[in-house]
Amino acid sequence: MVTNVSQINEVIDANIEEKVRAMGRQVKARDAYSLRGETHAAGMLEHLNVVLANKGVKVKRVIITSVVLNPEVANSMQETTIFQFKNTLERKKFSYEQRILNDQEEELKAKQIKEEERKDENEKATLQ
């Protein structure tokens, strides 16, 4: 049993940092923000209970509440997201413009067909 609270706090903090570093090496930057919550914290809970068992400490719950990335990594991810968004927006805009053009062509064809039908009917009427 541990009697020195500051010592146990240091042990807990050091083990959390160790496990977080290990998790950080296993996760791609774009997936880092999905680590929040209890699901991914199960490994942390297990790790802390193994390490702290001989100190008489049992951890009941662990939750990851915040993920903070290095500013360079976060900015890079943001730039990539912005680029992908702009790319998607351009494709949708192009698709929309093409659809407008196709609709205009269809409308023009329909008008021409109607015009031809009227001419045919007028010719039939004059022949009879």
- CA distances in angstroms from 121 to 81, 114, 115, 128, listed in the order given: 59, 10, 10, 11
Residue 34 and residue 79 in one domain: no
**% pLDDT > 70, the chain:** 77
Residue 3 and residue 63 in one domain: yes
Residue 22 and residue 81 in one domain: no
Residue 43 and residue 80 in one domain: no
Task: Give the pLDDT of the chain (128 residues) as one tens digit per residue.
Answer: 556 777 888 888 888 888 877 776 676 666 666 666 666 777 788 888 998 888 888 888 887 777 677 677 667 666 766 777 888 899 999 999 999 999 999 999 999 999 999 998 888 888 77
Domain end call among 26, 51, 68: 68
CA distance 63 to 70: 21
Residue 77 and residue 121 in one domain: yes
CA distance 40 to 44: 8
Taking the CA atoms of 71, 77, 78 and 83 in sequence, report the sign of the dihedral they define. Answer: positive
Q: At 77, which helix (H) or strand (E)?
A: helix 71-127
Look at residue 61 in the predicted model and tell me its pLDDT.
85
In this prediction the pTM is: 0.45
Domain of 79 in residue numbering reads as 69-128
